[in-house]
Structure 1
Amino acid sequence: MSDKNPWNSQLYDRKMSFVSILGKGILDLLDAKPGERILDVGCGTGDLSQEIAIAGALPMGIDFSEEMISAARQKYPHLPFSVADAHDFRTSESFDAVFSNAALHWMKQPEKVAESIWLALRPGGRFVAEFGGAGNVAQVIMALKRVLAAIGVDAEERMPWYFPSIGSYTALLEQHGFTVTFAQLFDRPTPLPDGEGGIAHWLNAFCAPFFVSMQDHEKAEVYREIATQLRPYLYQNGTWVIDYKRIRVAAIKPANP
């Protein structure tokens, strides 16, 4: 996760559990084997690290958020979790695979993250990830920019996300020595829980950098205006459906680079 967003682990687990649930699909691409050592980058509250462990592998989860790691340790005390920044993460251990779900788009220096992943992998090891790609939450971003501009805030300056194209991200991996074996950009319209209130919970969970120094009543007013602008596009039959676009990628660190 990111240092730019103050994570609330209880809100994340209670209202945004779809992140881990939908992330289970990427586990098929990972195909963890018993005994493999797997690094989970941006592990959040640890749900997918636990799924990796259920497959018989040996996961280690890292996340920049102390609150997320604290929650992961409470939920899964039998698994190792550490507070760490993937931009400069270094370890003496060598992993068979590095895995990441819904985290890399919070890391705005992707070349540093790619280097960390490369160094963590053994020769022949694999990297498997899913995260926001080009066009992710485009309607939300347009509404944020319009609403915040009206009150004198430049949303672009506060943008916490990195949403690359398939071409730019696979090229970055190749520049670091990886062999890319799979890459896909796809739409994933994602329904939010809690009906009318779903968009406010989503903005609270994922958009805090845009609302820095705002009082609660100011945020509530901004949320209402954002909801008004998004309603024609993202509110369907009583449910908010966020316009997600995701990248899935798999790559190998060659045995003989």
Structure 2
Amino acid sequence: MNAYEWDAEDYSQHSDVQKRWAGELIERLTLTGNEAVLDLGCGDGWGAAQMAGTLPNGSVLGVDYSPAMIALARRRYPPDRHPNLRFQVMDARALSFEACFDRVFSNAVLHWVDDHRPVLSGLYRRLKPDGKLLLRMGGQGDVAEIRATMDKVTMSAQWSEYFQGFEFPYTFPGVDEYRAMLKAEGFSVNRLELIATDMAHEGRAGLAGWIRTTWLPYTQRIPENLRESFIETVCSDYLDQVPLSADGKAHVAMVLLKVEANKSDKT
């Protein structure tokens, strides 16, 4: 996982879809009010705060690799107003706290991690007996059309000099490989499936905002004074292939891997 320079405020303003997905996922946690929850890759803290608000006798720890995201989360959700909510900078591959959790929640994060084995191993150790794991991330076949557009643009004469030696930075796992990793770590799999879904942005500006705030492995290879031009090129090429819908929305076809598992004794 690389330390990209996240603009936390900008990301927060262009993450409505991610927050909607987080809300849907939180409902599946079936919280009763006294659980200890880990939000892995908490970003600006919105989802962690939603969960903390339903846990009068429980707590939430939000961790994220980005210091900028954690700083924003702490400003937005200070301990004097959210006493059962904490935030900490941490690498998902090296979880280093002593606490144990009843639930682990992660939304739209783990496709940033190249090797999920140390992540799952750490989560197994930090879950209580029969603790529940609920994850959602980009899965096999995710963002195929926008990825094809990125490939076309980055190989063009105008931009190719900035992508010498570039390797695709995301991990989009499939069901079979993820099932094998979960079972190897001792998890009992309850649900594991790839779900096709649509990400709708508010027109060209919304699409550009999503690219600017989340496709950092691409945009941060470009000199800062040229980044907006790069993003505009990507948007133009993409919308030539996938035009705005009648209501003015820009649509991106996505494939999400949904994971529900429980900790079980290794045998």
Cα gap change, 1:180 to 1:52, in 2 (>3 Å): same
Q: Number of aligned pairs? A: 255
CA distance in 1, matches of 2:132, 2:150: 37
CA distance in 1, matches of 2:214, 2:133: 25
CA distance in 2, matches of 1:40, 1:120: 12
Normalised TM-score (structure 1): 0.92
User: Which residue number in structure 1 is paired with residue 45 of structure 2?
Assistant: 46
User: Which residue number in structure 2 is paired with residue 161 of structure 1?
Assistant: 170
- Comparing 127-136 with 5-14, which one deviates more in the overlay? 5-14
**Secondary structure class of the residue paired with 2:124:** helix
Note if 1:178 corresponds to 2:187: yes
Q: Supply the AA of the counterpart residue of 1:167.
A: D
Normalised TM-score (structure 2): 0.89
Cα offset for 1:4?
A: 4.2
Deviations 1:95-126 (A, max 9, x none): 11111111111111111111111111112111
**Are the equivalent residues in 1 in contact too, given 2:153–2:233 (CA < 8 A)?**
yes
Identity %: 25
Q: Supply the AA of the counterpart residue of 2:37.
A: I
User: Which residue number in structure 1 is paired with residue 10 of structure 2?
Assistant: 11
Match of 2:205 among 193, 197, 212: 197
Structure 2 portions without partners, runs of 5+: none
Cα root mean square deviation, aligned? 1.9
Deviations 1:145-188 (A, max 9, x none): 11101132558834221111122112211111111011121112
CA distance in 2, matches of 1:156, 1:105: 21
User: Which residue number in structure 2 is paired with residue 108 of structure 1?
Assistant: 114
CA distance in 2, matches of 1:139, 1:155: 22
Cα offset for 1:234?
A: 5.2
**Secondary structure class of the residue paired with 1:236:** coil
Cα offset for 1:11?
A: 0.8
**Are the equivalent residues in 1 in contact too, given 2:3–2:65 (CA < 8 A)?**
no
Cα offset for 1:220?
A: 2.8
The within-5 A match list for 1:58-137 is 58-77=59-78, 78=82, 79-137=85-143
Structure 1 portions without partners, runs of 5+: none
